[in-house]
Amino acid sequence: MPVSRGGNNNGELHEILSLVEERSFGELRRVLVEMNPADIAEQMSEIPDDKSLVVVFRLLPKEQAAEVFSYLESEDQQRIVEGISDKELASIINDMFVDDAVDFTEEMPANIVNRVLSTADPETRRAINQLLKYPDYSAGSLMTTELLRIKSEWTVEAAISYVRSCCRELASITYAFVTDESRHLSGVVSMKDLLGAADDELVSNIMDDDVIYASTTEDQADVAERFKKYDVVSMPVVDGEMRLVGLITIDDVVDVIEDENTEDIYKMAAMAPIEDSYMSTSVFQLAKKRVVWLLVLMISATFTGLIITKFENMLTAVAILTSFIPMLMDTCGNAGSQASVSVIRALVLGEVRFSNILKVIWKEFRVSIIVGICVAIVNFIRIIVCYYIGMYQVDPGQNIYLIAGVVSITLVLAVICAKFVGCTLPLLADKAKLDPALMASPMITTIVDAVSLLVYFGIASLVLL
Amino acid sequence: MPVSRGGNNNGELHEILSLVEERSFGELRRVLVEMNPADIAEQMSEIPDDKSLVVVFRLLPKEQAAEVFSYLESEDQQRIVEGISDKELASIINDMFVDDAVDFTEEMPANIVNRVLSTADPETRRAINQLLKYPDYSAGSLMTTELLRIKSEWTVEAAISYVRSCCRELASITYAFVTDESRHLSGVVSMKDLLGAADDELVSNIMDDDVIYASTTEDQADVAERFKKYDVVSMPVVDGEMRLVGLITIDDVVDVIEDENTEDIYKMAAMAPIEDSYMSTSVFQLAKKRVVWLLVLMISATFTGLIITKFENMLTAVAILTSFIPMLMDTCGNAGSQASVSVIRALVLGEVRFSNILKVIWKEFRVSIIVGICVAIVNFIRIIVCYYIGMYQVDPGQNIYLIAGVVSITLVLAVICAKFVGCTLPLLADKAKLDPALMASPMITTIVDAVSLLVYFGIASLVLL
């Protein structure tokens, strides 16, 4: 029984390539037919030369070809499109689900888009054109127009026999949507409820008229939120006049969720998010996405430098204080970004909101006391040990215990400040309708650096001078 | 038509609470019946006192109660369980899908678990007990045991009528699973293919015997990967002897994906991941998850401090050099974590692997040249401007242009080093089967701090002394 775990088998690629080389096309076709479309796409993306790639693609049975094609990365899709005839292209496009065809079209250069649109059959072309007009990242751009529509006055028997006649062309039959004469969405029946109902029951009696839906112009991230909240596997999409125009299925939403996470992670690391995969984004694009924040943070670090300049005399008097600056800056920066990242993630997951700000501050305050004292104690011991094994020199007239004490008390106070800044800024950003992810580590590091140095020099002047 | 966008309506909570206060239970019940279970759960979690919470819960119609219950956070579930009778509890548990009942049971203290198990009917109890024995985060712990089983020798007509007889009790009917006498999984038929086939066709002729499946003991993150790769909405789970034992549906996988992302984000910010939501994790737990990495990073920052101590004489001779240390450390730390976070995310999404290491290094090298030069130029101008407006004092005999040049050249070289370290460490970690997310910002910051200071002092000694 060839039940498959879908492992990543390197041997398969070698087998495919050597079958191409030997021109054993019959054998190769047999191998391909046994494989899962997603696996075939993965193996194909590793084929280096375009000719072999097109040969393998042409060997796929017609019904498999469109599916494999929709799993390919856009650069591999382009390599194939450039090597096949218009007729072959038309057959793939017409066999793809419309939303996959649109995803593909959006990624292609203009000349290929024109080829796609001129070869597709009129119905497909109309559907693609319609979907292409929705803005990027909108619910409209994510949906497919193929969905199961039934009428409220039908009996369950009639509805089931209708489903049986058309289900093969649909992307999802989990829900059947009930529309009136003017295509307004009036209800939904899950396939489970439809199949479970008696034959002579009317659809209007079993449909649920409380439908969770999306609007074409809505942001896809909001739609993804609603999928998570209501645990649904597909969601109808309506236009401005509440007419049913499409369907979003959860497999597309999973991709949106991953994209949103990538975006957040990039912002937290002080980068503008990239739109493509890392490997297919150009060096220039990557540099552009990164340099802006580096410049902002570099310039803001000037203030930290100025603080050091202001206290130059003290650093000359007690030279060893300089050597603790990196440790203080790093520890407090890390402590602050721990708090900010926790709060940002909790905001994204809907676990906290601005109204919880006092609870969050109180929580972080207690955490920072525990963490700050632990770090301070270890740090005190570390300094004393380092001193006795001769790693630190102290000028005559200065007391290493006093110096270690100053550094450790600074740590406690600066960790408290860092966690406070780290947990409040993202909540304030969210309240001000700014993206909290932008308030993550690097931004907070800069503020926390300045605060911790001021605390450090303040305490040092009091105690040591 | 009460089609709902499922908005977050604050008015609803006030309405519910005032209806409870007025004891208008009939009206309240009418309001609740109109609402979506997920919305009811959201509103209920905001009800402060336990009595009102239990009142609202008791007003829910029986079939809605179990669903609302499974949407509640575990702390609210516990508040309700403590306020209702054993009979009410039994009715909820028996009406919940088994996987939701297990999720609930796992979160409860021992006394409530015992109450749940002793009140559930024998069949439910057996199913819960069976699922509870699988390790946390395994496919077994994620699955439900309710799935659609059909026989290969049945006709399509017989299979459909079987589906119609039992579909209401099942969590998902998207796929029907074909098993032999010893319950071994031998194939799968999608509901689409089943409904689309002719009545007298045999199931064996339309079933797909290349099934993507999971094993009970497998890690849930690997299962989630497979869902994404093959774009499936549910996946059968088999035991060690390939017997079909359960089903994982995509709504549970979406939660796993979010959990995995949260875990990665926590690790990148130098924290051990928390298991619960931020708000329900105790202060002590949060402190524990954070303090270990802070200690490690604090101690490793000692080396950075030692480098400064070594070059103390130079810092005394050219005092202004000290004030650029924070800027250098921050900029290079940020540049390094930009590279590491990009590569870690690409690894997680399967876009790069260790074999691409040379391509990645070459890419980051070119990015770092562009970014480094931009930052260096702006920095040079900034220093000169700051000097002329009197923000920097320079000792006689020193040239501000020379100093700005030293800082700027250091920036270019240190950014190149930072990006190199940032992109290689995660790939090496992945190769060594360590978690690349642990190689993110804080770890890299410490290394990059040391490198950038060495470059700085090296160049400064050559040029300025």
In this structure, are residues A328 and A411 in contact, taking their beta carbons and an 8 Å threshold? yes
Average pLDDT, chain B: 85
Q: What is the pLDDT of residue B10?
A: 56
Express as a percent the part of chain B with pLDDT over 90.
Answer: 24
List all residues of chain B from 255 to 294 with a beta carbon under 8 Å from chain A: 255, 257-258, 261-262, 264-266, 268-271, 277-279, 283-284, 286-287, 290-291, 293-294
Interval B21-68: pLDDT, tens = 888 888 888 888 888 888 888 888 888 888 888 888 888 887 788 888
If you write DSSP's letter for every residue of B19-53 in order, what string do you get? HHHTT-HHHHHHHHHHS-HHHHHHHHTT--SHHHH
Least Cα distance to B143 among B248, B215, B240 occurs for: B248
Nearest C-alpha in B relative to A208: B3
B400 vs A: CB within 8 A: no
Beta carbons within 8 Å of A58's beta carbon, 6+ residues apart = A84, A88
In this structure, are residues A427 and A343 in contact, taking their beta carbons and an 8 Å threshold? yes
Q: Name the minimum distance, in Å, from the CA of B22 to any CA of chain A.
A: 27
In this structure, are residues B465 and B423 in contact, taking their beta carbons and an 8 Å threshold? no
Higher pLDDT, A244 or A312: A244
From chain A, the residues in CB contact with B266 under 8 A are 341-342, 345
What pLDDT band is residue B390 in, cutting at 50, 70 and 90? Answer: confident
A51 vs B: CB within 8 A: no
CA dist B443 and B141 (Å) reads 34
Query: What is the pairing mode between strands A234-238 and B244-249?
Result: unpaired
What DSSP element (H or E) covers A464?
helix A441-464
B72 vs A: CB within 8 A: no
CA dist B262 and B459 (Å) reads 42
CA dist A196 and B160 (Å) reads 11
Instruction: Say if the Cβ atoms of A279 and B356 lie within 8 Å.
Output: yes
Q: What is the pLDDT of residue B1?
A: 36
Q: What is the pLDDT of residue B440?
A: 64
What letter represents residue B137's amino acid?
Answer: Y
List all residues of chain B from 227 to 256 with a beta carbon under 8 Å from chain A: 227-233, 242, 250-251, 253-255
B231 phi-psi bin (left φ>0, alpha ψ -120 to 50, beta other): left
Beta bridge partners of B248: B235
Structure tokens at B357: 């290491």
Structure tokens at B435: 């978690």
Q: What is the pLDDT of residue A330?
A: 84
SS3 (DSSP) at B184: strand
Interval A434-465: pLDDT, tens = 877 776 666 787 788 888 999 999 999 888 77
**Between B6, B327, B445, which is nearest A298 by CB?**
B327
CA dist A170 and A147 (Å) reads 6
If you write DSSP's letter for every residue of A8-62 in order, what string do you get? --HHHHHHHHHHHHTT-HHHHHHHHHHS-HHHHHHHHTT--SHHHHHHHHHHS-H
What pLDDT band is residue A7 in, cutting at 50, 70 and 90? Answer: very low
First-to-last C-alpha distance (Å) of chain B: 82
Higher pLDDT, B2 or A240: A240
Interval B227-264: pLDDT, tens = 888 888 889 999 888 889 889 988 888 888 888 888 88
Interval B129-138: pLDDT, tens = 777 778 878 8
- Model ipTM? 0.73
CA dist B150 and B180 (Å) reads 9
CA dist A81 and A98 (Å) reads 17
Q: What is the pLDDT of residue A209?
A: 84
In this structure, are residues A303 and B263 in contact, taking their beta carbons and an 8 Å threshold? no
SS3 (DSSP) at A190: strand
Residue of B192, B277, B285 to mutate when probing chain A, most A C-beta within 10 A: B192
What pLDDT band is residue A2 in, cutting at 50, 70 and 90? Answer: very low
Interval B94-108: pLDDT, tens = 888 777 887 787 777
Instruction: Say if the Cβ atoms of A345 and B278 lie within 8 Å.
Output: yes
Interval A328-366: pLDDT, tens = 888 888 888 888 888 888 888 888 888 889 999 999 999
What pLDDT band is residue B2 in, cutting at 50, 70 and 90? Answer: very low
Interval B401-421: pLDDT, tens = 999 999 999 999 999 999 999
What letter represents residue B333's amino acid?
Answer: G
Instruction: Say if the Cβ atoms of B279 and A250 lie within 8 Å.
Output: no
Instruction: Say if the Cβ atoms of A36 and B210 lie within 8 Å.
Output: yes
The structure's pTM equals 0.74
Instruction: Say if the Cβ atoms of B195 and A167 lie within 8 Å.
Output: yes
**Between B229, B325, B338, which is nearest A269 by CB?**
B338
**Between B191, B253, B262, which is nearest A191 by CB?**
B191
Q: Which domains does chain A have, with CATH numbers?
A: 10-134 (1.25.60.10), 149-249 (3.10.580.10), 283-464 (1.10.357.20)
How many Cα neighbours within 13 Å face the side chain of A408? 18
Structure tokens at A113: 């888009």
What are the start-end ranges of the E strands in B136-174?
Answer: 149-150
Question: Which of A171-180, A316-325, B140-149: highest mean pLDDT?
Answer: A171-180
CA dist B131 and B31 (Å) reads 36
List all residues of chain A from 356 to 395 with a beta carbon under 8 Å from chain B: 356, 359, 363, 366-367, 370-371, 374-375, 378-379, 382, 386, 391-393
Q: What is the pLDDT of residue A10?
A: 56
Nearest C-alpha in B relative to A329: B326
Instruction: Say if the Cβ atoms of B349 and A1 lie within 8 Å.
Output: no
